Homo-oligomer: A and B are copies of this chain.
Amino acid sequence: MRYKVKELAKISGVSVRTLHWYDEIGLLKPAYIGANGYRYYEQEQLLLLQQILFFRELDFKLDDVQQMITSCDFDKIKTLLAHKSNLQLNQDRMSKLIQTIDKTVVHLKGNKMINEHELYEGFDLAKQKEYEQYLVKHHGTIAEDLIAQCNKRTVSWGSQEWKEIKEEGASILQGLSVYIEKGAGPRDEEVQHLIQQHYKMIGRFYDLTKDIYLSLAQLYCEHPGFRKFFEEHSQQLPEFMAEAMRVYIYKDL
């Protein structure tokens, strides 16, 4: 069995350019080159490529990958452990950065006395009733059960918990609108990560199923109250978010 570039690219999930590049730097040479100048790869190269991709995924530089695949198991272990400690360093740095961001956000909020009401008015309890009626009208008894469950859970929440969940919600929506401005798509990884947070957050209100989450996506677009709330962050947020939610639900299939 021999593969041409495109074929090997497809089964290994890399681009043709990557194979060209790996050839150029001597990381993965073709088994042989035809009289037409074409690169032909064999089973052996496929296996080697998989090794390469494995180490690449671990954030090794290609130079180091080169070393790895040619070194013995003992040296591999040494290098892996050294690399691990590097990753841990990075992790520590991330933690510190996140802390710094949190502090900065608090500082900025305190500085400008951002009006909580303005930021979070979507959680207004008065509007809650309206939403519930809408839900019942459009989704029947299932919605009633959810509302009951939601009420049962939230009565025990203190103002601290409400504040947390409000902040988290606002953070998610703000994040999404930033990505919209940047021209990101609903299936981009960063967006999906935010949607995952959203999914988990909603799960604190009631037991969430895929169907219910899809209904929510619909609700956010259709219900004027929700629409307005979302549109305050970004004009395209309702559709964008609904699409991202659908992607999130269907992506595992």
CB of A183, distance to nearest CB on chain B (Å): 13
* Residue A194 is within 8 A (CB to CB) of chain B in the complex: yes
A16 → chain B, closest Cβ, in Å? 26
Question: CB-nearest residue of chain B relative to A81?
Answer: B171
A179 on interface, CB distance cutoff 8 Å = yes
Q: Any chain B CB within 8 A of the CB of A251?
A: no
Q: A73-B111, A111-B73 are in contact. Are A105 and B85 (CB under 8 A)?
A: no
Is there an interface contact between A81 and B174, defined as CB atoms closer than 8 Å?
yes
Which residues of chain A have a CB within 8 Å of any CB of chain B? 57-59, 73-74, 76-91, 94-95, 97-98, 100-102, 104-105, 108-109, 111-112, 114, 171, 174-175, 177-179, 189-190, 193-194, 197
Closest 5 CB pairs of A and B: A82-B175, A82-B178, A78-B174, A81-B171, A73-B112
Name 11 interchain pairs, CB-CB below 8 A, sorted by A: A57-B97, A58-B97, A73-B114, A74-B112, A77-B108, A77-B109, A79-B178, A80-B101, A85-B197, A87-B94, A87-B98
